[in-house]
Amino acid sequence: MTLSLPTPALPSPALPNSLTAHEHIGFELGWDYGHYAVVPPAPYANEPSPLRNGWLSGQAAFGTRTLQATPQVRKWLQLRLHAWLRGRSVELVQVTPHYLQQIDVSHCPVTRQPLSSDTSDGTESTETSMLATASVDRVRSDAGYAAGNLVVMSTKANHAKAAHGYRDALQFVKLIEGGPLGGLNGLTAEQWSRVAVLCSFVEPLTHEEASALPLLVLPPNRLRLFNPVQALQAFISQQLTAPGWSHRMTRLEDLLPGKLLRRAFQTFFHALLPRVLEAGRNSTPQALRWAIEDAWRQPLVQQRWTLFARQLTAAQCEALVQRASARQLGTVRIECVSDEQAIDGWQIDSRGYVPHAVLMRRSAGGVPRRLRPDAFPPAGDPRQASLPLQ
Within a domain: 278? yes
Task: With respect to residue 282, please indicate whether it lies within any of the assigned structural domains.
Answer: yes
* pLDDT confidence of residue 329: 86
Q: Is residue 232 part of a domain?
A: yes
Is 387 within 8 Å of 330 (Cβ atoms)?
A: no
pLDDT tens digits for 14-61? 555 567 899 999 999 999 999 999 999 989 999 999 999 999 999 999
Burial state string for 177-190 with b = 16 or more CB within 10 A and e = fewer than 16: eeeeeeebeebbbb
CA distance 374 to 347: 8
According to DSSP, residue 373 is labeled G
Residue 18 in domain: no
Residues in CB range of 179: below 8 A, 6 or more apart: none
Q: What are phi and psi of 190, to 5 degrees?
A: -65, -40
The predicted pLDDT at position 299 comes to: 96
Residue 241 in any domain: the answer is yes
Q: What is the pLDDT of residue 278?
A: 84
Residue 357's pLDDT is 61
Return the DSSP state at 39. P
Taking CA atoms, 314 is separated from 210, 231, 317, 380, in Å, by 10, 10, 5, 20
Q: Is residue 273 part of a domain?
A: yes
- Tell me how far apart the alpha carbons of residues 27 and 243 are, in angstroms, rounded to a whole number: 50
Whole-structure pTM value:
0.84
State the total domains in the chain.
Answer: 1
Q: Do residues 149 and 175 make contact, with C-beta atoms less than 8 angstroms apart?
A: no
Q: What is the pLDDT of residue 330?
A: 80
Q: Is 150 helix (H, G, I), strand (E, B) or coil?
A: strand
Surface-to-core class of residue 337, CB atoms within 10 Å of its CB (0-12 exposed, 13-18 middle, 19+ buried): middle
> Is 39 within a domain?
no
pLDDT of residue 117: 58
For the chain, residues with pLDDT lower than 50 are 1-9, 121-131, 360-390
Report d(CA 159, CA 153) in Å as an integer.
Answer: 10
The range of the structural domain enclosing residue 235 comes to 225-335
User: In terms of C-beta density within 10 A (0-12 exposed, 13-18 middle, 19 or more buried), how is residue 377 classed?
Assistant: middle
CA distance 79 to 124: 8
Which residues, in sequence order, are CB contacts of 18 under 8 Å at separation 6+? 358, 359, 360
Q: In sequence order, which residues have a C-beta less than 8 Å from that of residue 386 and are 6 or more positions away? A: 148, 224, 225, 226, 336, 337, 339, 341, 342, 343
- CA pair distance 366, 13, nearest whole angstrom: 12
In a domain, 214, yes or no: no
